Amino acid sequence: MSSAAASPTDDEFRFLSGDAARVGRTGPLPRVERVAAEVGEGRRISGLRFDAPADPALVLLHGAGLNAHSFDPTLLSLGLPALALDLPGHGRSDWRADADYRPDRLASDVSAAIEQFAPTPVTLLGHSLGGLTAALVAAARPELVRHLVVVDITPGIAPGGNAGSVAEFITGQRDYGSVEEIVDRAVQFGIGSDRTALSRGVALNTRRRPDGRLEWTHHLAHLDALPGSGSDDPRPYAPIWGALRSLDLPITLVRAERGILNEELVDEWRDRLPAAEIIALPGPHNLHEAEPVLLASTVRGIVERGL
Please indicate whether residue 69 or residue 159 has the higher confidence score (pLDDT).
69
Catalytic, out of 70, 152, 219, 288: 152
Q: Tell me which residue of 112, 140, 114, 109 sits closest to 125, measured CA to CA.
A: 114
Q: Would you say residue 100 has pLDDT above 50?
A: yes
Q: Would you say residue 1 has pLDDT above 50?
A: no
Give the CA distances from residue 108 to residues 38, 140, 250, in Å, rounded to whole numbers and listed in that order.
12, 9, 21
Q: Would you say residue 9 has pLDDT above 50?
A: no
Q: What is the pLDDT of residue 11?
A: 86
- What's the pLDDT band for 227 if we cut at 50, 70, 90? confident
**Can you tell me the mean pLDDT for 136-149?**
98
Q: Could you report the per-residue pLDDT of 258-281, keeping only the tens digit for each?
A: 999 999 999 999 999 999 999 999
Q: Which of 153-157, 168-172, 245-249, 257-261 has the lowest mean pLDDT?
A: 168-172
Give the CA distances from residue 209 to residues 67, 176, 212, 216, in Å, rounded to whole numbers and listed in that order.
20, 10, 5, 10
**Can you tell me the mean pLDDT for 220-244?**
86
Q: What is the pLDDT of residue 305?
A: 85
pTM of the model: 0.93
Q: Tell me which residue of 169, 181, 19 sits closest to 84, measured CA to CA.
A: 19
Q: Which of 32-36, 135-139, 224-228 has the lowest mean pLDDT?
A: 224-228
195-203 and 179-188 are packed helices; what angle lies between their axes, rounded to 10 degrees? 120
Catalytic, out of 62, 219, 285, 288: 285
285 part of the active site: yes
Q: What is the pLDDT of residue 243?
A: 97
pLDDT, mean over the chain: 92
Sign, CA torsion 156/162/168/169: negative
Q: What is the pLDDT of residue 230?
A: 63
Please indicate whether residue 38 or residue 161 has the higher confidence score (pLDDT).
38
Q: What is the pLDDT of residue 161?
A: 73
Q: Tell me which residue of 201, 210, 163, 209 sits closest to 182, measured CA to CA.
A: 201
Q: Would you say residue 92 has pLDDT above 50?
A: yes
Q: Would you say residue 234 has pLDDT above 90?
A: no
Relative to beta strand 145-151, strand 122-127 is: parallel
- What's the pLDDT band for 282 if we cut at 50, 70, 90? very high
128 part of the active site: yes
94 part of the active site: no
Q: Would you say residue 158 has pLDDT above 90?
A: no
CATH of 2-157+235-306, one of 3.30.460.20, 3.40.140.80, 2.40.160.10, 3.40.50.1820: 3.40.50.1820
Catalytic, out of 72, 128, 147, 219: 128
Q: Would you say residue 254 has pLDDT above 80?
A: yes
Q: Would you say residue 10 has pLDDT above 70?
A: no
Please indicate whether residue 233 or residue 77 has the higher confidence score (pLDDT).
77
**Can you tell me the mean pLDDT for 193-204?**
91
Q: What is the pLDDT of residue 168?
A: 85
Q: Could you report the per-residue pLDDT of 113-133, keeping only the tens digit for each?
A: 999 999 999 999 999 999 999
Q: Would you say residue 76 has pLDDT above 60?
A: yes
* Residues facing residue 3 across a β-bridge: 33
Domain segments of the chain as ranges = 2-157+235-306
Q: Decide: residue 122, CB within 10 A, 0-12 exposed, 13-18 middle, 19+ buried.
A: buried
Q: Would you say residue 2 has pLDDT above 50?
A: no
Region of 222 on the Ramachandran plot (φ > 0 left; ψ -120 to 50 alpha; else beta):
alpha
**Can you tell me the mean pLDDT for 180-209?**
91
Give the CA distances from residue 229 to residues 84, 239, 255, 287, in Å, rounded to whole numbers and listed in that order.
26, 15, 22, 23
CB 139 within 8 Å of CB 247: yes
Percentage with pLDDT > 70 across the chain:
95
CB 295 within 8 Å of CB 254: yes
Give the CA distances from residue 242 to residues 103, 122, 134, in Å, rounded to whole numbers and listed in that order.
14, 22, 14
CB 85 within 8 Å of CB 47: yes
Q: What is the pLDDT of residue 59?
A: 98
Give dist(CA 263, CA 278) in Å, integer: 12
Q: Tell me which residue of 83, 91, 11 sits closest to 51, measured CA to CA.
A: 83
